[in-house]
Amino acid sequence: MPYDYSKLLDDAFKKMPHQSESTERFAMPKAQVQPDGARTIIVNFREITETLRREPDHLIKFILKELATKGEVQEGRFIVQGRFRQDMIDRKLEIYAKEYVFCNECGKPDTKIIREDRYSFLKCEACGAKQPVKKV
């Protein structure tokens, strides 16, 4: 059974996920909160979703559930019923990132949420790890 070690090694490397080549550090986005009477407006909501690389609907469901309130998106701004301080919104964003953005294995934010059958998984593009995530 003559196996060519170099060929086997090349095949193994081809099957491995590609490592993220990003050298810049991930900066957790901070919410720009603007009170508006009995409402709170997150002005930079679109930038937050782009930085976290998540669908706005997913983040909206999470924040509304965590804050136990109602809200809507208008022109890239997220308007939430109730008055909330910036530090509270930032804390909710950190919880979201820990559960739905950062890989549990390598700690990198190079992940995406994939669906298989009825289940959602967090798939890391850096190390290849896959772990189940809670439904929002």
Residue 1 has a pLDDT of 54
Residue 23 has a pLDDT of 45
Q: Six-digit token pair at 43? A: 């002005």
Q: Could you report the per-residue pLDDT of 45-73, keeping only the tens digit for each?
A: 999 999 999 999 999 999 999 999 999 99
pLDDT > 70? residue 18 = no
Q: Give percent helix, percent strand, percent coil of the chain, each to the nearest 5.
A: 35, 25, 45
CA distances from 130 to 16, 22, 119 (A): 13, 20, 12
CB atoms within 10 A of CB 54: 19
